[in-house]
């Protein structure tokens, strides 16, 4: 356990997972805090990006995955933790996304996928190129450094969606017909992540129709990316001067 001093209301003790809990008087599950605070859709706090990446790690990612001149840098992820009880609905396989991967001309696709699903990259047809950017990452801090170099993230309902949203990165989230309650229903945006767009299946399991809509939006993004950005986010990711410059 660690003590954090200087916090209003007294110190904070953090118990590591698996260690005995310190003495406490009250307990509140994390997901219940919005109810306790009386948070409504219109009052969800958003001070801007609240997660970031280490600048040195970002520079390293620019060197590992240099930009292609004139190409949009887009990250892609398609599968979450298979142990999640509704994973079959929220996740898909990479071959399902082939229409999207083939439609995007002048897009530098970089995979943000981890776990066994990342092995699907080797089965891609020769005419589709997706660079493996994250399967060997040690943790999400490494993945965050790569996301910092991207202009767009497209993902199913995975940790990548939350990471990109918390970093205020433009992120398009591909949702099943009945999504997790946190994404609510029948809306295309989320107050938790103002830079996110939600694309929902209109029919259960109908990925092709969903991808048609995303493909159309992707073409528009390539022409006017600023239209898809929150005012809180610059129109292009900017590396430090020591890192390779992104494509203009």
Q: How far apart are CA 43 and CA 26, in angstroms?
A: 25
**pLDDT number for residue 64:** 97
Convert the pLDDT of each residue in 94-118 to its tens digit: 999 999 999 878 999 999 999 999 9
Mean pLDDT over 164-186 rounds to 93
Give the pLDDT mean for 179-204: 92
User: For the domain 55-228, what is the CATH code?
Assistant: 3.40.50.2000
Report d(CA 111, CA 70) in Å as an integer: 19
- Mean pLDDT across the chain, nearest whole number? 86
Q: What is the model's pLDDT at position 228?
A: 65
The full DSSP string for 153-192 is: EEEESSHHHHHHHHTT--EEEEE-SS--GGG-SS-S--TT
Cα 20 to Cα 234: distance, rounded to the nearest angstrom: 44
Domain parsing of the chain, residue ranges: 2-43, 55-228
By three-state DSSP, how is residue 15 classified? coil
209 vs 200: CA distance, rounded Å: 10
Tell me which of 2 and 57 has the higher pLDDT. Answer: 57
- Identify the band that residue 181 occupies on the pLDDT scale cut at 50, 70 and 90: confident
pTM: 0.83
Q: Is the pLDDT of residue 31 over 80?
A: yes
In tens, the pLDDT along 34-48 reads: 899 999 988 988 889
């Amino acid at each position: 356990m660690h003590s954090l001093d200087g916090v209003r209301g007294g110190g904070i003790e953090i118990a590591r997972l698996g260690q005995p809990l310190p003495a406490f008087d009250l307990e509140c599950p994390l997901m219940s805090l919005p109810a306790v605070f009386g948070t409504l859709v219109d009052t969800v706090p958003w001070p801007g990006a609240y997660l970031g990446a280490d600048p040195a790690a970002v520079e390293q990612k620019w060197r590992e995955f240099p930009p292609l001149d004139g190409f949009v840098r887009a990250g892609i992820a398609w599968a979450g933790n298979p142990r999640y009880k509704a994973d079959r609905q929220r996740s898909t396989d990479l071959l399902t996304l082939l229409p999207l991967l083939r439609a995007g001309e002048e897009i530098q696709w970089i995979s943000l996928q981890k776990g066994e699903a990342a092995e699907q990259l080797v089965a891609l047809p020769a005419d589709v190129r997706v660079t493996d950017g994250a399967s060997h990452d040690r943790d999400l801090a490494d993945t965050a450094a790569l996301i910092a170099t991207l202009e767009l993230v497209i993902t199913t309902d995975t940790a990548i969606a939350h990471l990109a949203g918390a970093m205020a990165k433009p992120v398009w989230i591909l949702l099943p017909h009945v999504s997790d309650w946190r994404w609510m229903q029948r809306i295309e945006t989320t107050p938790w992540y103002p830079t996110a767009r939600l694309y929902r299946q209109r029919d259960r399991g109908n990925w092709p129709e969903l991808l048609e809509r995303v493909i159309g939006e992707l073409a528009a993004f390539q022409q006017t990316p600023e239209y898809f950005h929150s005012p809180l986010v610059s129109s292009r990711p900017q590396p430090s001067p020591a890192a390779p410059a992104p494509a203009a």
